[in-house]
């Protein structure tokens, strides 16, 4: 008798679940889109000086981690590794090119990566040395934004300090975005200042890499010097 009573209840619960899922399709899709990606590498040592990976993407992620940290050298170990090019050394070479040419932060900051690969019984040992185009300490000042529209808002807060260089890591760079639109964002942020600032003599925007939906934008600002401003004010008064 107990089984006969629980069967309709099970059917009702199943029907309710199906109806609930039918009305929540879009919600499920949004949840799927926000899944956190699986970590591609891990720390092999307690100090974090040795990185472990098992796939090519893990190798790339480990190299990018070194770049983000501004590390000038690193040690990687590839366990149970299956090559995508046929040889681990070729994979490392390809990964280094990907990091320095295709990744926005790598294309901006890294000059080149040197490496050597040694095969042991259990893993491939990879030692890398990174050379930078900039002072690696500057990487901690890179500002990450989801899209280029946030650049103007960030600049409105930064311009009162008269920075000479501001670097943005833009997560989504649309087809309408360009160096020109970012220069306009700087000008708009300047015009929206509540307190007067020295004139901006030049706004230079460099994008890294030169294509793709993710970019690093290095914005260099040249401010009018106090001496030049004083001379211009004197000349302006003489004309009056």
Q: How far, in Å, CA of 133 to CA of 195, rounded?
A: 35
Q: Please write the tens of the pLDDT for every residue from 17-46.
A: 344 444 433 333 323 233 334 457 666 555
| Concatenated DSSP letters of 2-21 | HHHHHHHHHHHHHHHHHHHH
pTM, two decimals, is 0.75
Other C-beta atoms closer than 10 Å to the C-beta of 70 total 16
pLDDT-derived band at 68, boundaries 50, 70, 90:
very high
The per-residue pLDDT for 123 is 95
The per-residue pLDDT for 194 is 94
The per-residue pLDDT for 49 is 72
The per-residue pLDDT for 22 is 42
Please tell me whether the peptide bond between 209 and the residue prior to it is cis, using omega within 30 degrees of 0: yes
Does the CA dihedral 96-101-106-110 come out positive or negative? positive
Q: Please write the tens of the pLDDT for every residue from 100-128.
A: 999 999 999 999 999 999 999 999 999 99
Q: How far, in Å, CA of 142 to CA of 20, rounded?
A: 45
Residues 6 or more apart in contact with residue 31 via CB below 8 angstroms: none
The per-residue pLDDT for 61 is 95
% of the chain with per-residue pLDDT over 90: 72
C-alpha distances (whole Å) from 218 to each of 35, 84, 191 are 31, 34, 20
Q: How far, in Å, CA of 101 to CA of 211, rounded?
A: 11
Other C-beta atoms closer than 10 Å to the C-beta of 190 total 17
The per-residue pLDDT for 122 is 94
The per-residue pLDDT for 91 is 97
Q: How far, in Å, CA of 78 to CA of 59, rounded?
A: 8
The token pair at 108 is: 């901006």
Q: Please write the tens of the pLDDT for every residue from 148-165.
A: 999 999 999 999 999 999
Residue 224 has pLDDT above 90, yes or no: yes
Three-state SS annotation for 134-147: CCHHHHHHCEEEEE
| Concatenated DSSP letters of 17-37 | HHHHHHTTHHHHHHHHHTPPP
The per-residue pLDDT for 155 is 97
Q: How far, in Å, CA of 185 to CA of 204, rounded?
A: 12
């Amino acid at each position: 008798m107990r089984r006969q009573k629980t069967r309709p209840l099970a059917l009702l619960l199943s029907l309710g679940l199906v109806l609930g899922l039918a009305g929540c399709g879009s919600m499920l899709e949004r949840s799927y889109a926000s899944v956190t990606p699986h970590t591609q590498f891990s720390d092999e040592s307690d100090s974090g000086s040795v990185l472990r990976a098992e796939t090519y993407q893990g190798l790339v992620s480990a190299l990018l981690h070194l770049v983000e940290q501004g590390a000038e050298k690193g040690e990687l170990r590839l366990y149970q590794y299956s090559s995508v090019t046929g040889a681990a050394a070729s994979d490392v070479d390809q990964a280094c090119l990907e990091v320095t040419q295709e990744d926005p932060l790598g294309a901006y900051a890294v000059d080149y990566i040197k490496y050597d690969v040694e095969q042991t019984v259990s893993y491939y040992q990879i030692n890398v040395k990174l050379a930078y185009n900039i002072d690696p300490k500057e990487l901690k000042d890179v500002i990450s934004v989801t899209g280029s529209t946030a650049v103007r808002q960030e600049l409105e807060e930064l311009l009162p300090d008269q920075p000479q260089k501001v670097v943005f890591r833009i997560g989504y760079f649309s087809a309408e975005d360009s160096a020109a639109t970012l220069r306009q964002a700087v000008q708009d942020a300047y015009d929206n200042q509540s307190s007067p600032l020295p004139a901006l003599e030049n706004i230079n925007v460099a994008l890294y890499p030169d294509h793709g939906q993710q970019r690093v934008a290095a914005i260099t600002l040249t401010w009018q010097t106090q001496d030049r401003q004083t001379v211009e004010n004197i000349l302006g008064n003489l004309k009056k």
